[in-house]
Copies of this chain bind each other. A is one copy, B any other.
Amino acid sequence: MTYKEIAKKYLENNGITIGDTIKINKEDISYEGILLDRSEDSEDGYLVLKLDSGYNVGVAIENTQAELIQKGDKPKIGYGAEDIAHDPSKQNISIISTGGTVSSIIDYRTGAVHPKFTAADLIKANPELLDYANYNVKALYNILSENMQPKYWVEAAESIANDISDGSDGIVIAHGTDTLHYTAAALSFMLKTPVPIVITGAQRSSDRPSSDANMNLIDSVVAAKSDIAEVSVCMHGSLNDSYTYLHKGTKVRKMHTSRRDTFRSINYEPIAKIENHSVDINPNYRYTKRNENELEVNSAVEEKVGLIKSFPGICEELIEYHIDKGYKGLVIEGTGLGHVPDKLITPLARAHDENIPVVMTSQCLYGRVNMNVYSTGREILNAGVISGRDMTPETAYVKLSWVLGQTNDIGEVAKLMNKNIAGEFNEKSSIKYFLN
C-alpha cells in the first residue's frame, strides 16, 4: 500500500486494506466501491474507489465515515504489474505510456488535469487488466499530446521494436488524443510488425466518473492479444461504454473536441469492433496476421516539413517563406478536389524546381484529391505537385515526413508517395465512407 499519512491512518483506523469493498459516507452522499491503490503522484487526503460502473472516483476523506462492506478476496487488485507473478498461460503485453488524459489524474483541489500516471499507475487504476495478460510496463515520457514532436515518434517506434524483440506478444500505447492519429500514422510507416500495436487514449481522465480510459485500455489489451498484427487505434465507438472500434492507424482522425467516440475512420471503415472483450474483425478487411511480417524498423523522419492550409486570403509569400526557410517538403490542405488560388501555382512550381516535394490534400477531409477535373488542378499537377489521393492531411504530412527520412531524391519521394506503404490510401475511393 502506498497511501501515506492522513489516508494511511484513516484506512488503518477503519481496518481497511486495498482491494476491500467499502462505503464512504459524507453528509448526503455515499460512495461504494473497491479501494484502489493511489498513483505515485496523487495527493494525500484522498482515496480512489472503483465503482460498480467500472469508473474510478477520487474521494476526499475529510468529514467522512468509512464502512467495510467486504474484505477483498483478490489481493492483487490495486497493485502494479511488478507485484504480480508471471502467469505462463497468459500472453505478454507491453504497456507504454506517453502521457495524455488516459495517463492523467485530476488535481482534486484545482480541478485541472495533469499527466502524472506512469504505466504502472495505469494498471493500479485499472486492475482488471491483470485478468487479461502479463504486463511489461514502461513510461516513455509524460506529456500532453499537443507537445508531441516527430522525434518522439522515433523514440516510440524504437521502444516498441525493443519490446517486440524481447518477446512481447502485443503492444498497447497510452497516448494523448490531440495528436494520437499523427503518432498512429507515424508508427504505421515506421514499423513492420509481427504483433499487434494498439494506440489508445481517453477523453476523460481515469479518476473521473465518466472516464473512458478503463474500457479503452482493456479493449486495447484485447486487441493487442488478437491476430491483427498492424498499427491500430482503439477508442470508444459510441457515447456509451458498449463497444470500441479498432481503426487503421493511417485512416483515422480525431473529429470531435470532447465526445468519447471522437476517433473516426476517414474514407475507410473501422477494421474491427470490440464488444464484450471479443474482437469482431470487419469481414471486408484483409488484415496482416500475427507473425506474417518480420519486425522491421525504419524510424528515420524529416522534421522540417510544412503543413499549409489554403484559404481565400492566403498569400503566395507563405509558400516562398517555407522554401526560403529550408523546408524539405510541404503538404497543402487545398480546397475541394485539391485546389489552391492560381497565384500559388508559381511558388509551388518553384518548390518543385528546388527539389522540395509538395503533396496536395483536401480540407474537406472526406473524398479524394483529383486534380484532373478543373483547369486549376491541371496546372497544379503541371507544377509537379503530388496527389495525396484519399489520405487525410495529417496522414499525408506524416507520410511525407517519413518518406523524406528515407530519401532526398525528389523522384524517389514521388515514387514512395505514390506507393501504398501502410494502407494509407485506397486505390479507388468509395463515396459510402462519409461521416460514419
| Cα-based distance from A254 to B182 in the complex (angstroms) | 23
Is residue A333 contacting chain B, with contact meaning CB distance below 8 A?
yes
Which of B307, B308, B366 is close to A255, meaning CB atoms less than 8 Å apart?
B366
Structural contact, B264 and A113, CB atoms closer than 8 A: no
- Stretch with Cβ within 8 A of B (4 or more), from A140-148, A278-286, A419-427: A140-148
Which of B259, B304, B397, B431 is close to A434, meaning CB atoms less than 8 Å apart?
B259
Residues of chain B within 8 A (CB-CB) of A271 are none
Give A148's nearest chain B residue, CB to CB: B312
Query: Of residues 133 to 161 in A, which have CB atoms within 8 Å of B's CB atoms?
Result: 144-150, 153
Which of B147, B340, B373 is close to A146, meaning CB atoms less than 8 Å apart?
B340
Give A342's nearest chain B residue, CB to CB: B147
Residues of chain B within 8 A (CB-CB) of A128 are none
Structural contact, B374 and A112, CB atoms closer than 8 A: yes
Classify chain A's interface size: 35 or more
Structural contact, B337 and A435, CB atoms closer than 8 A: no
- Known contacts being A258-B431, A431-B258, is A312 close to B149, with CB within 8 Å? yes
Residues of chain B within 8 A (CB-CB) of A352 are none
Structural contact, B146 and A311, CB atoms closer than 8 A: no
Is residue A325 contacting chain B, with contact meaning CB distance below 8 A?
yes
Give A177's nearest chain B residue, CB to CB: B336
- Known contacts being A178-B336, A304-B313, A311-B182, is A367 close to B150, with CB within 8 Å? no
Structural contact, A254 and B341, CB atoms closer than 8 A: no
Structural contact, B431 and A336, CB atoms closer than 8 A: no
Query: Of residues 384 to 425 in A, which have CB atoms within 8 Å of B's CB atoms?
Result: 393-394, 397, 401
| Cα-based distance from A254 to B257 in the complex (angstroms) | 19
A262, A305, A310, A366 — most chain B CB neighbours (10 Å):
A366
Structural contact, B341 and A149, CB atoms closer than 8 A: yes
Is residue A165 contacting chain B, with contact meaning CB distance below 8 A?
no
Is residue A295 contacting chain B, with contact meaning CB distance below 8 A?
no
| Cα-based distance from A262 to B372 in the complex (angstroms) | 19
Query: Of residues 46 to 98 in A, which have CB atoms within 8 Å of B's CB atoms?
Result: none
Which of B113, B147, B308 is close to A341, meaning CB atoms less than 8 Å apart?
B147
Residues of chain B within 8 A (CB-CB) of A363 are 254
Q: List 27 A-B contacts (CB under 8 A).
A: A112-B378, A113-B373, A113-B374, A144-B374, A144-B375, A146-B335, A146-B376, A147-B342, A147-B376, A149-B312, A150-B312, A153-B312, A179-B311, A254-B364, A255-B364, A256-B364, A256-B366, A257-B367, A258-B431, A259-B431, A262-B364, A305-B313, A307-B313, A309-B333, A317-B325, A321-B321, A365-B365
Sorted nearest first, the 6 A-B pairs with minimum C-beta distance are A257-B367, A178-B335, A146-B339, A178-B336, A435-B435, A256-B366
